[in-house]
Each structure stands twice: as C-alpha cells, then as structure tokens.
Amino acid sequence: MQGDALRLKIKEMMVEELMLEQAPAEISNTIPIFGAGGLGLDSVDALQLVVGLEKQFGLKIGNSDAAKGILESVETIAQEIEKSA
C-alpha cells in the first residue's frame, strides 16, 4: 500500500487507536502530530501510536531519536512505511 491510500489508512488508524475527535479526512498529511498548533498528542498517545503502527503496518521504531523524526506527521510516517516496504 502506498500513496494516498496509505496516508488515509494511517489517519484511520490514528483516529481509531487514539480516539481522535477529527475524521480521518480532516487530518492534514503535514500537520504536526505533537505539540501546539498540531494534533496536540502527548507521550501516552505516542506510545499508542507506535504500537498501532507496528500492529497495522509492521513498522518497528527502534529508539526515541528515530521516533522523533518518524512521528512528526502522517507524511513522515507514510514515508517511513514506504521505505521499509
């Protein structure tokens, strides 16, 4: 799975796993996942997100330094999944 379909699937997983109030289609590919001005998720959400990504996409995130770059936005997550596919 790649492209727009992959990005939508990531958003659907995020909405489901993290119980987000937005519809998947309302989440921008480039909006920051963490912090003010973005989706505003916290460290507990980050853990759930990592577990969800591994479960649904087989994406293993080895350490917190890698996680910072990968979990920046839907786009960065999708790029990482595409790289490892």
Look up the pTM and report it: 0.91
Say which residue the tokens 């998720």 belong to: 41
For the cut 80, the answer to whether the pLDDT of residue 65 exceeds it is yes
Cβ(79)–Cβ(53) below 8 Å: no
pLDDT band at 29 (very low <50, low <70, confident <90, very high): very high
Q: What is the mean pLDDT of residues 1-17?
A: 94
**Distance (Å, whole) CA 9 – CA 6:** 5
pLDDT band at 36 (very low <50, low <70, confident <90, very high): confident
For the cut 80, the answer to whether the pLDDT of residue 1 exceeds it is no
For the cut 90, the answer to whether the pLDDT of residue 84 exceeds it is no
The mean pLDDT of the chain is: 92
Domains and CATH numbers, the chain: 3-84 (1.10.1200.10)
Question: Which two tokens mark 28?
Answer: 């921008």
Residue 47 — φ and ψ, nearest 5°? -65, -45
